[in-house]
Amino acid sequence: MFQPSEVQMRAKDCMDLLFRKKTFHGSSSMDSQLKRCLGVIDVMFLAVGQMIGAGIYVLAGSVVHSQTGPSIVISFTMAGFAALMSAFSYAEFGARYPRAGSAYTYAYVGVGELWAFVIGWTVILEYMIGNAAVARSWSGYLDTLVHHAISNFTLDNIGTLSSGGGFFSRYPDVLSFLLIVAVAIVVAAGTKSSASVNTGFVFLNLTVIAFITVYGFTYADISLWIGTDDQGRSKFFPFGLAGTLSGAATCFFSFIGFECLATAGEEAKNPKRTIPIATFGCLIVVTFTYVVMSSALTLMLPWDQVNPSAAFADAFDVRNAQVAKYIITIGALAGMLNNLMTGAFALPRCVYAMADDGLIFSFFATINKYTKVPLNAIIVFTLLNATLAMVFDLEALVEFLSIGTLLAYSVVSACVLILRHQPAPIDGDLEKMDSGGTIKSWVPFRNYWESLPVGRSICVAVIALVASYFWLAFTIRLGLLFTIEGYICIGVGTVLIVTSFLFIYGHEQNSLDLNFRVPFVPLIPCLGLFINCFMMSFLDYLTWARFFIWMAIGLVIYFIYGIHNSKEGKKRRVVPESSLSTISKNNSEKN
């Protein structure tokens, strides 16, 4: 009989160590040191505040002018649908595991510790860069309004850091430093108070948007959408269907941010209900907002006259509506404060979740006994964030934001596929498991797949599916689409995708009772994976290089500290010892 070699045993032990999964028992998923005080509106507006920032005032004009024309309304609708595919998976995990940490926690439960660390470490950098970029944008916007008085004062009294155009900022942006610190003080005051302030800014921003939209529709000219122009192009589709699809890909990044509400899982009053409702609620609000605002914009002016950098302000200026210009300024500043507030809320909770699991320094897991917030994480990362905003030029780093979010979306969708096809306890009895994960009778080589450890076959299928998506995406990116080689690659990729999907479908789903379950599994998670993998494939290569450098730093911390201090690892070391002592005691009693 075959006996595994020592090398094979060591390899298996190493894999078990790196991919051990977080476990919850009984009501432990609801236990928390944080204060549960947030309702549906509080949680929903965290995501709305993160998504509707100054971007709507800038992005819409750029997409209309360069990619879509009036068909941007279809692009935003398509982008909202694409975001919904990932949102379904977040909603199910919010119902399963209402914990801080968002995608990090979901990955820990679904695909193991190493992947969880990768996601958590990436999300931390994403929020740090995002917060710093928003603070600098807010500072720059205000500086422009006061005719560069702030930057001139800084240059005259403090001096320059660099000549500009490099890694460092031209001058120390003290205002952005102070802004991040001020927002952090609000966040540190307590969860409910910071959520209330955020909700107030969201209402202000939505009020401004409502005013702009309604006022814009008073200048609407429906003829700008109907018929053809002098060159014979459709007025609604001046760039054709290809332009509308390209615009949808760009608009997709306007929906990045809904995942931040999952970081509030440990502070929601009834998270298993609140997180799913808030997830879909925020997407409905944001999609509707984007569609009506872009409709108003394209009905006010011909698409080729839209200013790509200041669309709404310029449109009202053309119409001599000067009051609207100032109201737009208020909306832009409020929107950026929303971004900063939600980012400052989410960042320390991601750090806290990783520290509480022992993967990074336990110092960050300390909860203030009065405010019930992770104060140490707030203080340290606020100072890092503020320094980053003050000293560094962030333009070259902004694209990095996309990779972290898309990677998190992909892993969460994959985790839904994996966990849905695992056996689940019947009526909470761990001794009785349902048929989740078993292979259906029509699947080829069924006996072989069923001989593998539980969950192995579904993991193989998901990995094959993701690899097929990237194969197809890079075939298109490398310009091989209309070549003989391209046709062969697309044919092979399509066959692999269909085969992987059918194999996943060939697994029985478990019957675990949740407040919310993703419908049409495996279709919806597979669509979410498809969209996210394609988006990642078209990111700049330099973005991937920066990502790997950041990950190298994180993995050094993990292998020096995290792997040895993991609470999940300690739990597993204790269980065998207690089991052995019980067996020894029983044997001595028999003797």
pLDDT reading at 99 higher than 80: no
Domain edge (last residue) among 512, 532, 547? 512
Report the relative pairing of strands 429-433 and 425-426 from DSSP bridges.
Answer: antiparallel
- CA distance linking residue 364 with residue 356, whole number of Å: 8
Q: How many Å apart are CA 360 and CA 321, to the nearest integer?
A: 54
CA distance linking residue 525 with residue 506, whole number of Å: 15
- The CATH code of the domain that includes 285 is 1.20.1740.10
The residues near 182 (Cβ < 8 Å, ≥ 6 apart) are: none
Do 400 and 507 lie in one domain? The reply is: no
pLDDT band at 29 (very low <50, low <70, confident <90, very high): low
Check residue 86 and give its pLDDT: 92
Q: Which of 512, 533, 564 is the last residue of a domain?
A: 512
Residue 573 counted as domain residue: no
Question: 227 and 323: one domain?
Answer: yes
Shared domain check, 294 and 148: yes
Mean pLDDT value of segment 129-144: 85
Average pLDDT over residues 93-108: 83
- Give the pLDDT of residue 58: 67
Tell me, rounded to whole angstroms, the distance of Cα 110 from its chain centroid: 17
Structure confidence at residue 307 (pLDDT): 86
Rg (CA), the chain: 26
pLDDT value at residue 348? 94
Q: Which of 150-159, 418-427, 573-582 has the lowest mean pLDDT?
A: 573-582
Residue 580: what pLDDT?
36
- The per-residue pLDDT of the chain, averaged, comes to 86
Is 242 within the bounds of a domain? yes
pLDDT (0 to 100) of residue 323: 85
Distance in angstroms (rounded) separating the CA atoms of residues 380 and 128: 12
Q: Is 141 exposed, middle or buried (0-12, 13-18, 19+ CB in 10 A)?
A: middle
Q: Are residues 406 and 504 in the same domain?
A: no
- Residue 442 belongs to domain spanning: 424-512
Mean pLDDT, residues 334-363 taken together: 91
More confident residue, 5 or 10: 10
Confidence of residue 587 (pLDDT cuts 50, 70, 90): very low
Model pLDDT, residue 373: 92
What single-letter amino acid sits at 200? G
Residue 26 lies in a domain: no
Helix, strand or coil for residue 209?
A: helix
What residues pair up with 268 in beta bridges, in sequence order? 38
188-200: average pLDDT: 89
CA 405 vs. chain centroid, Å, equals 4
Over residues 530-548, the pLDDT tens digits come to: 999 998 888 878 778 888 9
496 and 406 both lie in a single domain: no
- For residues 377 and 440, membership in a common domain is answered with no
Cis peptide bond prior to 348, omega within 30° of 0: no
Q: Does residue 443 share a domain with residue 389?
A: no
Domain shared by 190 and 333, yes or no: yes
The 3-state DSSP class for residue 428 equals coil
| Statement to judge: residues 466 and 487 lie in one domain | yes
Q: Name the percent of the chain lying above pLDDT 70.
A: 90
* pLDDT beyond 80 at 89: yes
State the DSSP string of 474-524: HHHHTT-TTSHHHHHHHHHHHHHHHHHHHHHHTBPPP----S---SSTTHH
- pLDDT confidence of residue 18: 81
Number of domain units in the chain:
2
262-286 average pLDDT score: 89
- Does residue 394 sit in the same domain as residue 443? no
- The per-residue pLDDT for 37 is 85
Q: Which of 512, 533, 552 represents a domain boundary (last residue)?
A: 512
Q: Using the predicted structure, report yes or no on whether residue 589 has a pLDDT greater than 90.
A: no
Q: Round to whole Å and give the CA distance between 340 and 133.
A: 9
Give tens-digit pLDDT for 109-127: 888 999 999 999 988 988 8
Give the predicted TM-score (pTM) of the model: 0.86
Does residue 300 fall inside a structural domain? yes
Asked, for residue 419, whether it belongs to a domain, the answer is no
Query: Do residues 116 and 563 make contact, with C-beta atoms less than 8 angstroms apart?
Result: no
Query: In terms of C-beta density within 10 A (0-12 exposed, 13-18 middle, 19 or more buried), how is residue 37 classed?
Result: middle
- Residue 141 inside a domain? The answer is yes
Mean pLDDT of the 434-463 span: 88
Q: How confident is the model at residue 54 (pLDDT cuts 50, 70, 90)?
A: low
Same domain (yes/no): 111, 188? yes
Lowest average pLDDT, out of 33-47, 357-371, 397-411, 510-524, goes to 397-411
Q: What does the DSSP 8-state code read for residue 364?
A: G
Residue 44 lies in a domain: yes
Question: Domain check: are 270 and 206 in the same one?
Answer: yes
Once rounded to an integer, what is the mean pLDDT over residues 17-28? Answer: 72
Q: Decide if 89 is inside a domain.
A: yes
Output the pLDDT for position 581.
Answer: 42
